Amino acid sequence: MMNEFDHRVLGAKYDLFSFFEEGPGFPVWHEKGLRIKNALIEFWRKLHAESGYVEIQSPIMLDKELWKRSGHCDYFEENMYFSSVDKRDFAIKPMNCPGAILVFNQKKRSHAELPLRICELGHVHRHENSGSLHGLMRVRSFVQDDAHIFCNRNQLLQEIKDVIRLIEKIMNQCGLKDYHFELSLRGGEKEYLGSDEDWAMAEGKLEEALRDLNYSVKKNPGEAKFYGPSLDLHLKDVHGRSWQCSSVQLDFNLPKRFNVHYFDEKGERQVPYMLHRAIYGSLERFIGILLENYGKDLPFWFHPVQYKILNIAEESREYSLRVASVLRNKGFKVELDLSDRPLKEKIRRAHDELIHSLIIIGKKEMESGNIVMRSLKGEDQKVIALNALQFDDFS
């Protein structure tokens, strides 16, 4: 049953996103929804830059032969979209891996460049059964915060542990603490690429990283991807449901398939190991989880309307406009109410909207150069000089 903590209800009520019959499973983001999405992306980019990643953007559509070579057409073709241009077959990317490989292979690589961490906010498309579509939680078009790390065997363990620490930072920033990791291993009747020795090494490295960071190890035989085992974060939402978000996958197959190599200290060709990893996973699904966890009380840092300015006097109208301009230049997300409605009505309306804090401006504030700021989470009220306002005053 839909309720106030259903992200679909919140998305419609607060004008965040829409779905249309013309594109089932393809979300359309509105301005306020994009503010949330872009805040998460901005934080993600900051952390990745600090962690030594380089960001790329690969095409949405690439030659189908690339996806045959990668093995995706063998294992995933029924979930892919295709097109034909100039008598040449193309696939709309369901994953970002080949783009990172093309970038790695576009020039000669030295051992001194490893580990090379290539990240991408890739827009991917996967065909989901229409009956399984569910708001942002199950879509056919989404942004995946991918990264592909090329390294040698001696660097593997440290890189896996660094990814886990990066996951911890992002989950902590988003206020998400109810999660655990599971190991997806080879098993059952499925077909897998690679040798038994490769699989034993890869599964061992992922388990060792977990144990070194004092996480318990839950193993899921038969759940590994066709190209390698994975370490998956399972996040519990406010409804008690579990969602698989972050993932670290160790791949020893694609580098061989695409002739990926670097030159070691002796000038000899070596094949690197490749880590696939995502943290938000699907950015759309992650936002759906955040909306349902927080309802309308979203944290300040990714709130779509951090301040709403309520002007209460005709004389202060121009000052209110100037305050809005100053705040926007500082990076805040601001809306204005310049109507002549009574203050009580303006405040009541603000309570019914997705607003974090109010700024009340009248003749007194205009003359003093101050603003009155009130959080809608409580009755806290502050009088602050406009030039002294900081980003974390109500964070």
Q: Where are the domains of the chain?
A: 7-294, 305-388
Domain 7-294: assigned CATH number? 3.30.930.10
pTM (two decimals): 0.93
* Res 1: pLDDT: 40
- Cβ atoms of 167 and 175 within 8 Å: the answer is no
Distance CA 362, CA 42 (A): 34
- pLDDT class of 383 with cuts at 50, 70, 90: confident
* Res 392: pLDDT: 56
Share of the chain above pLDDT 90, in %: 75
State the average pLDDT for the chain: 92
Q: State the pairing for strand pair 116-125/53-55.
A: parallel
Comparing 107-121, 303-317, 380-394, the range with the smallest average pLDDT is 380-394
Looking at residue 285, its amino acid is R
Q: Is the pLDDT of residue 51 over 90?
A: yes
- pLDDT class of 390 with cuts at 50, 70, 90: low
**C-alpha radius of gyration, the chain, whole number:** 24
pLDDT, tens digit (0-9, with 9 covering 90-100), for 335-380:
999 999 999 999 899 888 889 999 999 999 999 888 888 887 766 7
pLDDT, tens digit (0-9, with 9 covering 90-100), for 246-289:
999 998 788 999 999 999 999 999 999 999 999 999 999 999 99
Q: State the pairing for strand pair 218-221/179-185.
A: parallel
Tell me the C-alpha to C-alpha distance, in Å, between residue 298 and each of 9, 12, 98: 15, 16, 36
* Res 296: pLDDT: 84
Cβ-Cβ contacts under 8 Å for 386 (sequence gap 6 or more): 323, 326, 369, 370, 371
* Res 226: pLDDT: 76
Q: Give the per-residue SS3 of the chain.
A: CCCCCCHHHHHHHCCCEECCCCCCCCCEECHHHHHHHHHHHHHHHHHHHHCCEEECCCCCEEEHHHHHHHCHHHHHHHHCEEEEECCEEEEECCCCHHHHHHHHHCCCCEHHHCCEEEEEEEEEECCCCHHHCECCCECCEEEEEEEEEEECHHHHHHHHHHHHHHHHHHHHHCCCCCEEEEEEECCCCCCCCCCHHHHHHHHHHHHHHHHHCCCCCEEEECCCECCECEEEEEEECCCCCEEEEEEEEEECCHHHHCCCCEECCCCCEECCEEEEEEEEEEHHHHHHHHHHHHCCCCCHHHCCCCEEEEECCHHHHHHHHHHHHHHHHCCCCEEEECCCCCHHHHHHHHHCCCCCEEEEECHHHHHHCEEEEEECCCCCEEEEEHHHCCCCCCC
* Res 391: pLDDT: 55
* Res 379: pLDDT: 60
Cis peptide before 115 (omega within 30 of 0): yes
Q: Is 7-294's fold the same as 305-388's?
A: no
pLDDT, tens digit (0-9, with 9 covering 90-100), for 191-227:
787 888 989 999 999 999 999 999 998 999 998 887 7
For domain 305-388, give its CATH number from 3.40.50.720, 3.20.20.70, 3.30.70.120, 3.40.50.800.
3.40.50.800
Comparing 69-73, 81-85, 89-93, 176-180, the range with the smallest average pLDDT is 69-73
pLDDT, tens digit (0-9, with 9 covering 90-100), for 12-45:
989 999 999 999 999 999 999 999 999 999 999 9
Mean pLDDT of 73-80: 87
Q: Which two tokens mark 244? A: 């698989």
- pLDDT class of 61 with cuts at 50, 70, 90: very high
Distance CA 283, CA 300 (A): 19
pLDDT, tens digit (0-9, with 9 covering 90-100), for 328-345:
998 999 999 999 999 999
* Order of strands, sheet of 242-251, starting from the edge strand that comes earlier in the sequence: 53-55, 116-125, 141-151, 273-282, 242-251, 230-236, 179-185, 218-221
Q: Is the pLDDT of residue 382 over 80?
A: yes
* Res 28: pLDDT: 97
Backbone dihedral angles phi then psi of residue 250, each to the nearest 5 degrees: -95, 120
Cβ-Cβ contacts under 8 Å for 99 (sequence gap 6 or more): 56, 58, 59, 62, 93, 120, 122
Distance CA 373, CA 307 (A): 9
* Res 153: pLDDT: 93
* Res 395: pLDDT: 47
Beta bridge partners of 125: 141
- pLDDT class of 92 with cuts at 50, 70, 90: very high
Q: Is the pLDDT of residue 389 over 80?
A: no
